[in-house]
């Protein structure tokens, strides 16, 4: 594979269901969206319903809650008095943590059972209010956030649930804010209007992204991608990359020494193809190979044909030292390439050096952008690897300049 080449497709064996985390603030209309997903054929797992089930009358969960907080949290019929329990834990962080220690493991076990029981070709939508607060987003293939303006949410809570306005505002304030939700949201659904509007958004998401994504994950393949097209810089690229990095860190575990956003989209202000490139640093190619299945399960199937970078002979002429493994996103809504390189290898170093150099050298950044635009025009009807091959001479020549900058700046990559 060439350094600039963008892998375009692969197919393999079958495996796990697509997992979608669905969340939104209280009063946002998340339940409306969950119901629509169910109508379309998704397997909807409702975290709130499970949380009620695990503390239903006669369960060990309820007995443990009563042992911890006393019979004051029981209703006259012996069921859990949720309002009474909320009054105990709402303003007491230690009490809330004790409650979570009782409920969350039981919810987790039951959730796992329901997801495991889903059909092989299912899209599982996990409807969970505290996805952001509990830092769960990286465990899903996609995170979907349902949103509505605060005033509309207050109105819904007061009129539909009979909640006092002060209570509604306190509940909203106690949850994650919009900025925190946007940080994890792969998809943002606007539910400020009539249900038909958000239904249309859900229908489009299901047909254009979720169903194809599920099939790609199950069949271990990447969607076909179009010809290279350079677009203006997108300030959201780093945030998009961070969501992918988080999923890869979870999938890789200890085998990833570090995970980095690399390539053109990691350079602010640089026009680029709308492709997120990521480097996963591993101790050996054996470790990279051990990650093939976990990455495919997480939505990043392997591309066996792309197993080495083009050597820079002035740096290291041995092609064996430029070997790597490559995966790509199965998500039709987000093109991303994942390069697994061994720590200390020349390709690993250059992948980290190149964006650092361009971020620091404005003239080099402009020069590279002019090259990208010219080649994109010349290679508009050719394959992605051909476009990458055409960039290689510039990359090779630029490596000496990048190394000179590194020496002057005292730049050196941290292996971990």
For 360-373, what is each residue's pLDDT tens digit? 999 999 999 999 88
DSSP state of 310: P
Q: pLDDT at position 7, please?
A: 37
For 310-355, what is each residue's pLDDT tens digit? 888 888 999 999 999 999 999 999 999 999 999 999 999 999 999 9
Q: pLDDT at position 397, please?
A: 83
The pairing of strands 336-342 and 276-282 is: parallel
Task: Give the C-alpha separation, 384 to 213, whole Å.
Answer: 21
Task: Give the C-alpha separation, 75 to 208, whole Å.
Answer: 47
Whether this prediction's pTM lies above 0.85 is answered by: yes
For 270-320, what is each residue's pLDDT tens digit? 999 999 999 999 999 999 999 999 999 999 999 999 999 988 888 899 999
Q: pLDDT at position 380, please?
A: 63
Q: How far is CA 293 from CA 218, 267, 298, in A?
A: 12, 30, 9
From the list 108, 94, 98, the residue with the least C-alpha distance to 67 is 98
Binding residues are 27-32
Residue-averaged pLDDT of the chain: 91
Binding residues for ATP are 27-32
Q: Name residues whose C-beta falls within 8 Å of residue 20's C-beta, 6 or more positions apart in sequence.
A: 37, 42, 123, 124, 125, 126, 140, 141, 142, 143, 144, 210
pLDDT at 2 over 50: no
Domains for the chain: give ranges and CATH numbers: 18-218 (3.40.50.300), 230-409 (3.30.460.10)
From the list 326, 322, 354, 323, the residue with the least C-alpha distance to 340 is 326
């Amino acid at each position: 594979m060439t350094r600039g080449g963008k892998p375009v497709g692969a197919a393999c064996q079958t495996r796990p269901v697509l997992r979608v985390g669905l969340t939104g603030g209280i009063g946002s209309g998340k339940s409306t969206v969950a119901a629509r997903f169910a109508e379309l054929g998704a397997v909807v797992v409702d975290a709130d319903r499970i949380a009620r089930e695990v503390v239903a009358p006669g369960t060990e969960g309820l007995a443990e809650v009563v042992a911890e907080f006393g019979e004051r949290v029981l209703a006259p019929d012996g069921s859990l008095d949720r309002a009474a329990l909320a009054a105990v834990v709402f303003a007491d962080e230690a009490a809330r943590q004790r409650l979570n220690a009782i409920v969350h493991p039981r919810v987790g076990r039951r959730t796992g059972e329901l997801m495991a029981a889903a059909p092989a070709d299912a899209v599982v939508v996990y409807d969970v209010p505290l996805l952001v607060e509990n830092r769960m987003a990286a465990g899903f293939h996609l995170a979907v956030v349902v949103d509505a303006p605060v005033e509309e949410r207050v109105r819904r809570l007061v009129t539909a649930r009979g909640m006092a306005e002060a209570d509604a505002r306190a509940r909203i304030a106690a949850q994650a804010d919009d900025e925190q939700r946007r940080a994890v949201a792969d998809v943002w659904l606007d539910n400020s209007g009539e249900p038909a509007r958000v239904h249309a958004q859900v229908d489009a998401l299901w047909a254009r992204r979720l169903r194809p994504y599920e099939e790609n994950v199950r069949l271990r393949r990447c969607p076909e991608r179009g010809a290279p097209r350079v677009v203006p810089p997108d300030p959201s690229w780093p945030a998009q990359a961070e969501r992918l990095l988080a999923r890869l860190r979870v999938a890789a575990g200890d085998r990833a020494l570090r995970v980095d956003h690399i390539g053109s989209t990691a350079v602010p202000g640089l026009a680029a193809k709308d492709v997120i490139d990521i480097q996963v640093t591993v101790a050996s190619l054996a470790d990279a190979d051990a990650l093939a299945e976990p990455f495919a399960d997480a939505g990043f199937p392997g591309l066996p044909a792309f197993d080495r970078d083009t050597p820079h002979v002035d740096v290291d002429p041995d092609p064996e030292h430029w070997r790597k493994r490559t995966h790509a996103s199965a998500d039709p809504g987000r093109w991303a390439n994942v390069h697994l390189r061994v720590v200390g290898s020349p390709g690993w170093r250059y992948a980290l050096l190149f964006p650092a150099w361009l971020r620091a050298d404005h003239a080099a950044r402009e020069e590279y952008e002019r090259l990208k635009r010219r080649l994109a025009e010349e290679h508009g009807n050719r394959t992605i690897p051909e476009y990458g091959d055409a960039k290689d001479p510039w990359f090779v020549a630029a490596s000496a300049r990048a190394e000179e900058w590194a020496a002057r700046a005292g730049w050196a990559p941290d292996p971990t």
